């Protein structure tokens, strides 16, 4: 009896001490100031200060208000961080606190009620989806065994198209379309095993009808998402749907769902008929899981997973490669050094293969430096705090939206010497991981993009193949024309003008290219 009494008293004593400590911590936090910020105006808050590209507008505000500043975006409170130390504080020290995502009514229509991996709320559903993606869909083993052959085939198809376009000499090629076609066809083949082919009357595309249809859907969806920014922060506009945006998004989502349902039904028929290729598609993996856990793998949840893959792995990958080629065209000495490395390692009697890429150290430096200068998610997907916390000495209340300005962090002169200069050599011998430096083009912490391995495989093999097989030059007459590096406004840091370049098959690679 005395033992039980002592245990009960000890329990209440520990609870009392815990509450006292928490109360003291809360009092100390309440004394901390909120992050500074510009003066807000009624209703709009600071929306009038946001000019595209947003990351550049945030950099201008950070120069005035510091590395942590607050904004009132209509009805939402937000905080923007712009240094490596503050990013680590948010996404490492307070990782769990900032693991949630803000909810947007119109975005909910496009993300299956917030069920996609990038936009789902932090909790049981997100943990389940993350586990499925990490273990079954995008594990390093699956990428290497099942996806690399597809990536290799699609890169070779792209090289074949470029060679045929420039068979008579140099040809002017619009690269963004080619690179988007590559990433989209790769995902379509990986997810649904829709074989790509080249119609006899169209020598300039290898996209299957399904891939072309989804490209049109994706273009429509991305353009609609780009219009939602202001409306999401002004509830009154949401209520009346002044621009009819909800109807347009619902219509696009309906077409997308019908498209995915056709793919699911086709894969289900193949599995029921016992038709299965040498490698399982992602849909085949998910449908197998559906049989054992039907409540966790409904058709709608499978659609949400597939859509997550497409939205994260197509335009962003193509955009990163487009910036890499833009930089190489403006720095021919870097292009030459990368080519010399490939020639020394691979030679000219065969095409670069996936097994060669890990040995091409300088090519990886080029990719890292491209992602440093032009991260495809310049402010990452927004996070949201679920508890009060401290960032940079300022109090950040629960429910605050967090924007991490990766673009500013990657160009911070305090940690990156000559931050605006394209210098891949800074990553040689581990130089990019020096103390204080932070390279986070795919994010960090719990919400880091799980598709990093796949994206780097596509970018490394595609960029290496283009360097190995072709001579490249900027479009323009006289001297050494420079590629315009003006940035556009968008979700994935696009170029203001799609990249066009002069492409000519290398003489030493003609025998290989002719056999493609």
Each residue of 305-343: pLDDT tens digit? 999 988 888 889 999 999 999 999 999 999 999 999 999
> What pLDDT score does 28 carry?
55
What class does CATH assign to 47-514?
Answer: mainly alpha
Strands 401-404 and 76-81: parallel
Torsion sign over Cα 94, 66, 448, 45: positive
Tell me whether the omega of the peptide bond preceding residue 510 falls within 30 degrees of 0, making it cis.
no
Strand pairing of 171-174 and 68-73? unpaired
pLDDT at 15: 44
φ, ψ at 301 (rounded to 5°): -70, -35
The DSSP call for residue 424 is G
Q: Count of CB atoms within 10 A of residue 437's CB?
A: 16
Question: CA-to-CA distance for 388 and 27, rounded, in angstroms?
Answer: 12
Q: How far is CA 39 from the centre of its chain?
A: 33
**49 CB neighbour count, 10 Å cutoff:** 17
- The pLDDT tens digits along the chain (516 residues) read 455 444 444 444 554 454 555 554 445 556 789 999 999 999 889 988 988 899 999 999 999 999 999 999 988 999 999 999 999 999 999 999 999 999 887 778 888 988 999 999 999 999 999 999 988 888 888 888 888 999 999 999 999 999 999 887 899 999 988 998 899 889 888 888 875 544 444 455 556 677 778 888 888 887 776 545 566 787 766 666 666 777 888 899 999 999 999 999 999 998 888 766 556 889 999 999 999 999 989 999 999 999 998 888 888 999 999 999 999 999 999 999 999 999 999 999 999 999 999 999 999 999 999 999 999 999 999 999 999 999 999 999 999 999 999 999 999 999 999 999 999 999 998 777 666 789 999 999 999 999 899 999 999 999 999 999 999 999 986 566 789 999 987 777 999 999 999 999 999 999 999 998
Rounded-to-5 percentages of helix, strand, coil across the chain: 55, 10, 35
DSSP-derived secondary structure for 16-45: HHHHHHHHHHHHHHHHSPPPP-PPPBTTTB
76-81 and 68-73: which strand pairing? Answer: antiparallel
Give tens-digit pLDDT for 156-185. 999 999 999 988 789 999 998 899 889 988
- Quote the CA–CA distance of 407 and 397 in Å, as a whole number: 25
Annotated binding site: which residue ranges? 449
pLDDT value of position 219 = 81
At 172 the pLDDT is: 93
* One-letter-per-residue 3-state SS of 245-310: HHHHHHHHHHHHHHHHHHHHHHHHHHHHCCCCCCCCCHHHHHHHHHHHCCCCCCHHHHHHHHHHHH
**Would you list the DSSP string of 339-378?**
HHHHHHHT-SSS---TTTGGG-HHHHHHHHHHHHHS-SST
Domain range list for the chain: 47-514
Name the DSSP letter for residue 432: G
The pLDDT score that the predictor gives to residue 212 is 78
Closest CA to 379 of 221, 233, 455, 493: 493
Residue partners of 415: CB distance under 8 A and separation at least 6: 84, 436, 437, 438
Q: Which residues are annotated as a binding site for heme?
A: 449
Residues 138, 139, 143, 146, CA torsion sign? negative
pLDDT value of position 277: 58
């Amino acid at each position: 009896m005395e033992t039980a009494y002592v245990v009960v008293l000890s329990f209440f004593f520990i609870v009392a001490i815990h509450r006292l400590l928490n109360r003291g911590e809360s009092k100390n936090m309440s004394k901390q100031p909120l992050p500074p910020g510009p003066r807000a105006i009624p209703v709009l808050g600071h929306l009038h200060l946001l000019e595209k590209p947003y990351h550049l507008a945030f950099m201008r505000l950070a120069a005035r208000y510091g590395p942590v500043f607050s904004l009132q975006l209509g009805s939402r409170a937000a905080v923007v961080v712009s240094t490596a130390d503050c990013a680590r504080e948010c996404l490492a020290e307070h990782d769990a606190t900032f693991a949630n995502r803000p909810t947007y009514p119109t975005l909910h229509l496009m993300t299956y009620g917030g069920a996609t991996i990038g936009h789902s709320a932090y909790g049981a559903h997100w943990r389940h989806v993350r586990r499925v993606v990490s273990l079954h869909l995008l594990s390093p083993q699956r990428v290497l065994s099942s996806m690399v052959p597809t990536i290799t085939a699609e890169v070779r198809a792209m090289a074949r198209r470029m060679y045929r376009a420039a068979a008579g000499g140099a040809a002017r090629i619009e690269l963004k379309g080619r690179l988007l076609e590559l990433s989209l066809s790769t995902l379509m083949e990986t997810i649904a095993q829709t074989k790509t082919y080249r119609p006899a009357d169209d020598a300039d595309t290898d996209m299957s009808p399904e891939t072309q249809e989804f490209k049109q859907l994706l273009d429509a969806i991305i353009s609609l998402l780009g219009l939602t920014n202001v409306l999401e922060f002004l509830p009154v506009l949401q209520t009346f749907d002044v621009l009819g945006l909800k109807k347009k998004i619902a219509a696009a989502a309906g077409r997308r769902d019908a498209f995915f349902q056709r793919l699911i039904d086709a894969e289900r028929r193949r599995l029921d008929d016992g038709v299965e290729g040498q490698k399982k598609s992602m849909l085949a993996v998910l449908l197998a899981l559906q049989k054992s856990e039907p409540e966790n793998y409904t058709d709608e949840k499978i659609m949400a997973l597939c859509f997550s893959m497409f939205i994260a792995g197509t335009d962003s990958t193509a955009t990163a490669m487009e910036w890499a080629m833009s930089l190489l065209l403006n720095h021919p000495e870097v292009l030459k050094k990368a080519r010399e490395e490939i020639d020394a390692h691979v030679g000219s009697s065969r095409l670069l293969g996936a097994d060669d890429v890990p040995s091409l150290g300088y090519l990886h430096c080029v990719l890292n430096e491209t992602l440093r200068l032009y991260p495809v998610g310049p402010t990452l997907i927004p996070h949201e705090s679920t508890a009060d916390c401290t960032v940079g000495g300022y109090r950040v209340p629960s429910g605050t939206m967090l924007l991490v300005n990766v673009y500013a962090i990657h160009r911070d002169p305090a940690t990156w010497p000559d931050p605006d200069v394209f210098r891949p050599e800074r990553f040689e011998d581990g130089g990019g991981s020096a103390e204080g430096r932070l390279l986070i083009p795919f994010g960090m912490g719990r919400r880091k993009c799980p598709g990093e391995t796949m994206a780097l495989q596509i970018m490394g093999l595609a960029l290496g193949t283009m360097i190995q097989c072709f001579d490249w030059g900027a479009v323009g007459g006289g001297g050494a024309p420079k590629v315009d590096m003006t940035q556009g406004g968008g979700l994935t840091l696009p170029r203001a003008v799609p990249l066009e370049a002069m492409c000519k098959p290398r003489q030493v690679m003609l025998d290989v290219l002719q056999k493609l």
